[in-house]
Amino acid sequence: MIVWWCTALEAPWTWEWIPYPGIWAAAIVPAFFYVRSIRRHSSEIDRRKTIQFLSGILVFWIASDWPLGTLGAGYLASAHMTQFLLYTLVAAPLLLLGTPEWMARLITSKLRIYRAATWLGRSAVTAGVIYNLILVITHAPGTVEVLRRNQFGSFAMDIVWVLAGFVLWLPVISPIPEGRVRSVWAKMIYLFVTTAVVAVIPASFLTFATTPIYSIYELAPRIGTITAREDQQFAGIIMKLATIPVVWSTIAVLWFRWSAREAQLTA
């Protein structure tokens, strides 16, 4: 059987490299078409956007491929959680920031999702609900147990996480101006509520549960001296704390930019 995407393995963990051609294709193909489209569209390339987009692709590849992808698929719940946060808090916003407006309009038009994308970006409440539903559902023990057992399920989970990241960040940094929330204060409140309120519930459950809740990670061959319960606690701590630097840094940038504009208007 060809192994093209990370999935749970029954063998004891080793640091022997495992190739995943499906992951390479998922990273290389979008990067290739992005660069080709940029060069064809204009002779002047926005290097900042190009770096942002390619950095997003790089983070996606790191989160998906060996070793992190393999560890998250069937060995460590903490690696599983790290993947989720890399997809949603790092890769997705970098991809959005790196996408020029003309490209975003072209893609949404070709896929016939322009209305849905702009509506979702303007409806912060809906975006927040969808993001948190995906968070809760994809971290439910039954979902993890079923999807991580095969390549197609593991692939689906990873892609859904990237889409969840797009949903989360659309109201704040959508490449289409009319497809994002206009009020800076609404953006800041949205980010805080969406990433800090609901996530506390599964994070606390993982941190304070007295027994492991993910059988796939509980029964996996141990790595070093970390127990299944300790690994699960690390996963909960990561979910609680990892969002803080990203979200609060974004809120700070939004506030300072708003403050600078207000100062210019009143000067």
Cα angle, residue 243 at apex, residues 242 and 245 outer, rounded to 5°: 85
Q: Is 217 helix (H, G, I), strand (E, B) or coil?
A: helix
pLDDT, tens digit, for every residue of 191-220?
A: 999 998 878 888 888 888 888 999 999 999
pLDDT band of 2, cuts 50, 70, 90: confident
* Residue 250: closest CA among 189, 197, 179: 189
pLDDT band of 5, cuts 50, 70, 90: very high
Predicted confidence (pLDDT) at residue 266 exceeds the cutoff of 80? no
- The mean pLDDT value for 78-86 works out to 97
Cα 212 to Cα 222: distance, rounded to the nearest angstrom = 13
pTM: 0.95
> Which one has a higher pLDDT value, 171 or 267?
171
What are the structural domain ranges in the chain?
Answer: 21-202+239-266
Cβ contact 197:230 at 8 Å: no
- In the chain the first and final C-alpha atoms are separated, in Å, by 68
